């Protein structure tokens, strides 16, 4: 276990935004909340999953809703502690540690804010290895673990407890609640024993995000190319260089949906690319061909700084590079593709994996589920 400095919190937030594939919420707001909580209540402590006691209770706090309203309605204040306490009342016991539901933007720093306020550790890992916009799209669903009970809360003190028949229903009910709460709110779900967390979650992803953030920060300080630093830290591949010439974005059913149109520059001059997103970037198409697709990560980077741009921050005229990063191996299994592959998003193409591997492969724990139940 180690204490995280304010700089480490910033590095994790901006590194996780690269891994968030355009989603996870604005990293700046999440960073401010985590640092404020650490200053008020004490330092954030990051703990390896292996350090968990088998009988510990772990829970996963996260933001539900569309990222654009998050910029206007900050929803990570006292309501975060209220949903946590609500879950403890339901379970009749204290939560020993918290963990990121996804490594992406504000959803990586949000557990730090809660952990500082409660003075419990944050576990170094998550449930996806990237960001996904739906509650059921986690490795725990692949292993048959229920997301329920879920507690959802808003800034007015409202709490909704959900006991869903399946993780798919958990997503539907939580999404409907988020819409009632102004299209953005906080929740906590997937209560899990320490023994199960050690076996079934993805380990080391927060530290990996920190290393990406450090690489990006040092490149800036040393006047080196931030894009190169990010590519080296992720093992990703630049699949397009261009400029944003149009963004079509709408908030519907609690999601940010749309497309970004890019005009090619440099060696991609004369070409165009369309990146389709649903909170996160889903597919990149150029010349009528699929260049990269979910579940692999598609991240749009600022060409000048190397910083990742979330989907709500995409703006006309920005010069960008599109980076593709290999997803965690579990999402390339038949079970993983059945749950979160192209067909889930209504995309009419087969998944073609990009080259590379989810790095550093030897530092992540994962297993292929022995049995996968259809979530209906």
Q: Residue 43 and residue 40: Cα distance in Å, rounded?
A: 9
Contact of 356 with 238, CB cutoff 8 Å: no
Please list the pLDDT of the chain residue by residue as tens digits (376 residues).
Answer: 999 999 999 999 999 999 999 987 778 888 999 999 999 999 999 999 999 999 999 999 999 986 666 666 666 778 999 999 999 999 999 999 999 999 988 899 999 999 999 999 999 999 999 999 999 999 999 999 999 999 999 999 999 999 999 999 999 999 999 999 988 899 999 999 999 999 999 999 999 999 999 999 999 999 898 899 999 999 999 999 999 999 998 877 767 789 999 999 999 999 999 999 998 999 999 999 999 999 999 999 999 899 999 998 899 999 999 999 999 999 999 999 999 999 999 998 999 898 876 764 444 444 444 443 333 2
Based on the fold, state whether residues 53 and 132 are members of the same structural domain. yes
Nearest to 281 by CA among 23, 24, 71: 23
Q: Do residues 281 and 157 share a domain? A: no
DSSP characters for 249-310? Answer: EEEETTEEEEEEEEEE-GGGTT-EEEEEEESEEEEEEETTEEEEETTSEEEEEETTT--B--
Tokens of 355: 């080259």
Q: What is the pTM of this model?
A: 0.91
| The token pair that represents 125 in the structure block | 């890992």
Q: pLDDT at position 366, please?
A: 47
Mark out the alpha helices in the chain (DSSP H runs).
6-19, 27-41, 67-72, 78-91, 106-118, 139-142, 167-180, 194-200, 205-221, 226-234, 334-340
Regarding whether 104 and 8 lie in a shared domain, the answer is yes
Shared-domain flag, residues 119 and 190: yes
Same domain? 235 vs 193: no
Do 151 and 269 share a domain, yes or no?
Answer: no
Residue 214 inside a domain? The answer is no
**Whether 238 and 284 share a structural domain:** yes
Sort strands 97-99 and 122-123 into parallel, antiparallel or unpaired. parallel
Domain count, the chain: 2
Pair 71, 162 in one domain: yes
Residue 321 in tokens: 């590079």
pLDDT at 67: 67
Quote the CA–CA distance of 3 and 261 in Å, as a whole number.
42
Task: Give the domain extent around 359.
Answer: 225-363
Domain membership of residue 265 (yes or no) is: yes
Domain boundary among 205, 237, 267: 205
Residues 6 or more apart in contact with residue 59 via CB below 8 angstroms: 84, 87, 95, 98, 99, 188, 189, 190, 191, 192
Count other C-beta atoms under 10 Å from residue 68's C-beta: 21
Q: How far is CA 83 from CA 76, 77, 88, in A?
A: 11, 11, 9
Provide DSSP, 12-53. HHHHHHHHTTT-S--HHHHHHHHHHHHHHH--EEEE-GGGS-
Domain presence at residue 52? yes
Please report whether residue 146 resides in a domain: yes
Q: Are residues 36 and 156 in the same domain?
A: yes
Q: What is the CATH number of the domain that holds 298?
A: 2.40.390.10
Q: Is residue 262 part of a domain?
A: yes
CATH of residue 91's domain is 3.40.1610.10
Domain-located, residue 369: no
């Amino acid at each position: 276990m180690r204490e995280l400095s304010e700089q480490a919190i910033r590095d994790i937030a901006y590194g996780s935004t690269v891994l968030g594939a355009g989603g996870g919420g604005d990293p700046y707001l999440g960073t401010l909340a985590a640092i404020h909580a650490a200053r008020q209540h004490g330092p954030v402590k990051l703990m390896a999953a292996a350090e968990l006691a088998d009988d510990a209770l772990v829970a996963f706090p996260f933001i539900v809703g569309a990222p654009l309203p998050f910029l206007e309605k900050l929803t990570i204040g006292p309501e975060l502690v209220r949903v946590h306490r609500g879950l403890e009342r339901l379970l009749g016991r204290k939560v020993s540690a918290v963990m990121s539901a996804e490594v992406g933007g504000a959803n990586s720093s949000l557990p730090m804010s809660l952990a500082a306020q409660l003075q419990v550790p944050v576990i170094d890992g998550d449930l996806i290895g990237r960001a996904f916009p739906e509650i059921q799209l986690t490795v725990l669903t692949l292993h048959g673990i229920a997301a329920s009970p879920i507690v959802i809360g808003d800034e007015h003190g409202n709490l909704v407890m959900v006991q869903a028949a399946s993780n798919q229903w958990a997503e539907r009910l939580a999404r409907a609640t988020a819409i009632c709460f102004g299209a953005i709110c906080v929740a906590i779900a997937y209560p899990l024993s320490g023994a199960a967390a050690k076996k079934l979650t993805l380990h080391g992803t927060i530290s990996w995000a920190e290393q990406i953030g450090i690489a990006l920060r040092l490149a800036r300080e040393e006047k080196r190319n931030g894009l190169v630093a990010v590519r080296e830290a992720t093992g990703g591949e630049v699949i397009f260089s261009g400029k944003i010439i149009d963004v079509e974005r709408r908030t519907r059913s609690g999601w940010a949906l749309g497309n970004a149109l890019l005009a090619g520059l440099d060696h991609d001059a004369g070409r165009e690319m369309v990146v389709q997103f649903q909170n996160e970037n889903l597919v990149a198409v150029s010349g009528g061909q699929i260049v990269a697709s979910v579940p692999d990560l598609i991240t749009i980077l600022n060409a000048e700084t190397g910083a990742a741009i979330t989907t709500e921050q995409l703006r006309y005229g920005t010069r960008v590079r599109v980076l593709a990063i290999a997803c965690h191996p579990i999402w390339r299994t038949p079970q993983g593709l059945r749950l979160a592959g192209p067909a889930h998003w209504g995309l009419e193409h087969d998944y073609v994996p990009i080259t590379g591997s989810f790095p550093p492969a030897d530092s992540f724990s994962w297993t292929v589920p022995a049995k996968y139940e259809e979530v209906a």
